[in-house]
Amino acid sequence: MLDTLIKNAVIIPMTERGLVIKGSIGIANGRIACIGPDEPEARETIDARGHIVMPGLVNAHAHTAMCVMRGYADDYNLKTWLYDKVFPVEARLDERAIVAGVRLGIAEMLASGTTSFSDMYFCQPAAAREIERIGIKANLCNAVLALSDNYVFEKDRAVIETSELIEKYGSKGAVRADVAIHAEYTSPPAIWLRVRDQAKEHGLITHIHLSETKAEHEEAKGRHGMTAAAAFEKYGVLDGPVLFAHGVWLEEDDMRIIASHHASVAHCPVSNLKLGSGMADVRAMREAGINVCLGTDGACSNNSLDLFEEIKISALLAKGLTLDPTALPAYDALEMATVNGAIAQGRSDETGRLKAGYDADLIMINTDAAHLRPVYDPISTVVYSARGSDVELTMVRGRTLYRDGKWLTLDIGKTVKAVEEYAVPIVKNE
């Protein structure tokens, strides 16, 4: 007998371009057992009439704990924002404040349809424990920054935390470890080699900020005589799986390099626009063969962790940049937030699609809202009309974590209170 049957659903499985199925999804032992017109017996039945059921979204680049800085540093360019506003606050944040931010960010992601995220931040072992308890999936890393002359790799908190994550979680499971180089401009090549070796030894993904601003991109060429992407290739960083964030100022050769190494790029259009960093050429990246996925970045540079915003804006930006309305069709934009995100996380065999044998990572969207009617094409409706607030149910590995405005594995009242009463005074330096 099935554990759960979701019936009367309009299903977007993301297994075939344009495919929409009307029927049911059967779930057993946390995985999808069947999809189709039949309605097998189950211990629990969910009537999805009037709902679209689709894979949960994958947020491929986030700094989740930065929710505690939402609205704190608006309307600055990236360099001023990072060095004058963010770094001083981050120097004050402790584990308790960071975990509070992680809880708040996960609450927002679950309520807006995200079932897995790739996170780069501090205190990740503590965050991992909270993530395990809540039940969402995550790839976690703490990025290496080597900005001082007396930097010692083995004493770096990021390196120590990464070792803890590797020992406990490795590269498999709902929670798993990645390694990270913050960016080309925050560490020298000698440090990249150490991270590269760590990634190679344990079979991990390397997460890196890349060519986010024009100044960053040009300064890298001044330091290395080549672009950051080319420099990372030169030092062997791309020998293993890599997830680059942003890629706003990539050159044609950069795209060729990234594609040839089967690396991914997490496109973060809202954050890039808000910081005035520019607009990544998604169509060019895709045509070059790059796996382009979507990320929100942190809530301090985006103000939202709602991936539905990223889906729509990515499609619109591609059309606007190219003056071609076919540059990024609805299905392709949705694929970036599901299938491609799963590939970037090394989870392509478990999530991103609704398919028998895959984990039951799915969401239900209520289409009764005025802004979602009528529904001619469910895929276009999801991409161009839906909002995160339209998500009515979020399930990870067959376990319902959010339903009908309620979080089933976290206390939202205590979460907000912890942020407001403990983390906010630290941010404000009161």
Tell which residue, 218, 222, 143, has the closest CA to residue 180: 143
What values do phi and psi take at 367, rounded to 5?
-95, 15
The model's pTM is 0.97
Question: In a structure prediction context, what are the per-residue pLDDT tens digits for the chain, which is 430 residues long?
Answer: 999 999 999 999 999 999 999 999 999 999 999 999 999 999 999 999 999 999 999 999 999 999 999 999 999 998 899 999 999 999 999 999 999 999 999 999 999 999 999 999 999 999 999 999 999 999 999 999 998 889 999 999 999 999 999 999 999 999 999 999 999 999 999 999 999 999 999 999 999 999 999 999 999 999 999 999 999 999 999 999 999 999 999 999 999 999 999 999 999 999 999 999 999 999 999 999 999 999 999 999 999 999 999 999 999 999 999 999 999 999 999 999 999 999 999 999 999 999 999 999 999 999 999 999 999 999 999 999 999 999 999 999 999 999 999 999 999 999 999 999 999 999 999 7
Supply 129's token pair. Answer: 């424990």
φ, ψ (nearest 5 deg) of residue 313: -65, -35
> 10 Å Cβ neighbour count for 174?
20
Q: What is the Cα–Cα distance from 195 to 20, expressed in whole angstroms?
A: 43
Which CATH architecture describes the domain 2-55+358-407?
Answer: Roll (2.30)
Residues of the chain with CATH 3.20.20.140: 57-344
Tokens in use for 20?
């929409």
- Within the chain, all domains assigned CATH 2.30.40.10 are found at 2-55+358-407
Strands 362-366 and 391-396: antiparallel
What DSSP string describes 361-424?
A: -EEEEETTSGGG-S-S-HHHHHHHT--GGGEEEEEETTEEEEETTEESSS-HHHHHHHIIIIIH
Rounded to the nearest 10 degrees, the angle between the axes of helix 189-202 and helix 157-168 is 10
Longest dimension (CA), the chain: 66
Per the rule left: phi > 0, alpha: psi between -120 and 50, beta: everything else, 271 is alpha
State which amino acid sits at residue 87. Answer: F
Question: Which DSSP helix (H) or strand (E) runs through 163?
Answer: helix 157-168
Considering Cα of 342, then 131, then 122, then 114, what sign does the dihedral take?
positive
* 320 φ, ψ (degrees, to nearest 5): -70, -40
383 vs 315: CA distance, rounded Å:
8
How many Å apart are CA 189 and CA 220, to the nearest integer? 12
Return the DSSP state at 326.
T
Give me the CATH code for the 57-344 domain, please: 3.20.20.140
Query: Residue 288 in contact with residue 255, Cβ under 8 Å?
Result: yes
CB count, 10 Å around CB of 229?
A: 30
